[in-house]
Amino acid sequence: MSTTAATPQPGSPRAVVEDERRGGRFDVLGRVAQGELGSIRVVIALIVIWAIFTIANSNFLTATNLVNLSLQIAATGTISVGVVLVLLLGEIDLSVAIVSGLCAAIMAVLNVNHGWAAIPAIAAGVGAGAAIGLFQGSVVTRFGIPSFVVTLAGLIGWQGVLLWVLGSTGTVNITDPTIVDLAGEFFSGAGAWILAAVVVAGFAAATLNARRRRRAAGLEAASPQVVALRIVAVAVVTFGVVAVLDQDRGVPLALVILLAFVILFDYVVRRTRFGRHILAVGGSAEAARRAGIRVTRIRVLVFVLASTMAACGGILAASRLLAVNQSSGGSDLLLLAIAGPVIAGTSLFGGRGTVWSALLGGLIIGSISNGMDLLALSSSVKFMVTGAVLLAAVVVDAAARQRRQRAGRV
């Protein structure tokens, strides 16, 4: 008599048990492969990258270099926050880098050459970014032109405006303390620890409130143990970062500004009707239109926000470099601003991703760039490596999308 177990019939108790075992064993791997747990993939990649560069150069994980890294990713990450919103919409904005340089130039020229106070000059730069986004978004929606084409034209056109704004000198040096302090101010000592405590307390309050609301609505909520574990994990990371950065100059104000933008827009995307409409339009514009969502309005507003965030990022970059010149917003800034969110799991196909990918992706791409600078690699190598990383991220995104589609068909 054969001892081989018979194949369980679908739906039988034995089949259910085997499916649960198989799911428990492979669920995490499957969700990572399909892009569901992108943050885990990013954290693993970040650990590997840091390990490689630490082995290659022992200065990589020093407090001084980590402070420099946080300053480097602040401007790019801020621009990436706007890029994430556009990507969630299923669109692309190729003009964000040059818009950042143009808006920084407007601020600098008004402040230095025309004697405007810092706050009005900054407001003018941010306002110019919003106006550019309104113009480009209106062209995209009014004439049905692909955003790729409109923003590519912007990439070229706004470069000309940048040169015109800067004039014959080509460079404007920034000395106003208010502008300089955006990237030159640091929280150290007691101030840094109080800031960390506020962040942890805010996260704990938000997490507990979310659990309470889900339970009140009769929805499944995380257990108290899981909630406590999340809060402890955030506390360890937050206080650990402060402890390391405080060994040098402290926590940069620019990094705090980036975190504030990420938290704000993460709340907008996940907790507001506007954010849900962005995801709906990115998932299927036609379905969103039939559901009564004002698709045109959503698209225009997202382009406005993207260019506004580009302006904010350009101002942070100008503050760090203490100048604006003809190359502002150029070089590999556009590649870095788009590559970061894509690497961290925001889909190029729309409807999938989180605003936190701007920060996580900025850490990945910034660490690679910073590490190659420490190793004194040539610009040609840096461009090739960064391009290869972006291509790999796009391939992973496309493969994950195909897996989700196959899983949906099954």
What would the pLDDT profile of 316-360 be if each residue is shown by its tens digit?
999 999 999 999 988 788 988 988 898 888 887 777 888 998 999
User: What total of structural domains would you count in the chain?
Assistant: 1
For the whole model, what pTM was predicted? 0.86
Q: Which value, to the nearest 10 degrees, does the dihedral of the CA atoms of residues 245, 39, 342, 82 take?
A: -60
**Does any domain span residue 266?**
yes
Element (H, E) at 239: helix 224-245
The whole-angstrom separation of Cα 368 and Cα 364 is 6
What is the sign, positive or negative, of the torsion defined by CA atoms of 397, 383, 334, 143?
A: negative
**Does any domain span residue 54?**
yes
Per-residue model confidence (pLDDT) at position 408: 60
Please give the full DSSP string across 329-344, using - where no structure is assigned: T-TTHHHHHHHHHHHT
**Does any domain span residue 298?**
yes
Q: What are φ and ψ of residue 34, in 5° steps?
A: -90, 5
- Decide: helix, strand or coil at residue 58: coil
Per-residue model confidence (pLDDT) at position 204: 93
Per-residue model confidence (pLDDT) at position 407: 67
The whole-angstrom separation of Cα 130 and Cα 150 is 16
Residue corresponding to tokens 């209106």: 138
**Does any domain span residue 124?**
yes
- Decide: helix, strand or coil at residue 280: helix
**Does any domain span residue 373?**
yes
Tokens of 344: 């961290």
Residues 274, 298 contacting (CB under 8 angstroms): yes
Amino acid at position 169, single letter: T
pLDDT digits (tens, 9 = 90+) for 139-175: 999 999 999 999 999 999 999 999 999 988 889 999 9
Per-residue model confidence (pLDDT) at position 119: 96
Per-residue model confidence (pLDDT) at position 22: 43
Residues 238, 199 contacting (CB under 8 angstroms): yes
The whole-angstrom separation of Cα 316 and Cα 314 is 5
| pLDDT lower than 70: segments of the chain | 1-39, 397, 401, 404, 407-410
Residues 78, 190 contacting (CB under 8 angstroms): no
Element (H, E) at 325: strand 323-325
Output the CA–CA distances (angstroms, integers) from residue 390 to 78, 307, 367, in the order listed: 19, 22, 14
Question: Beta 171-173 vs 323-325: how paired, if at all?
Answer: antiparallel
Give the structural domain span for 290. 39-188+246-409
CATH number of domain containing 63: 1.10.3470
Residues 349, 285 contacting (CB under 8 angstroms): no
Size of the chain in residues: 410
Q: How far apart are the first and last CA of the chain?
A: 36
Residue corresponding to tokens 């030159």: 184
Q: Cβ neighbours of residue 28 under 8 Å, at least 6 residues apart?
A: 37
Please give the full DSSP string across 188-221, using - where no structure is assigned: -THHHHHHHHHHHHHHHHHHHHHHHHHHHTT---
**Does any domain span residue 359?**
yes
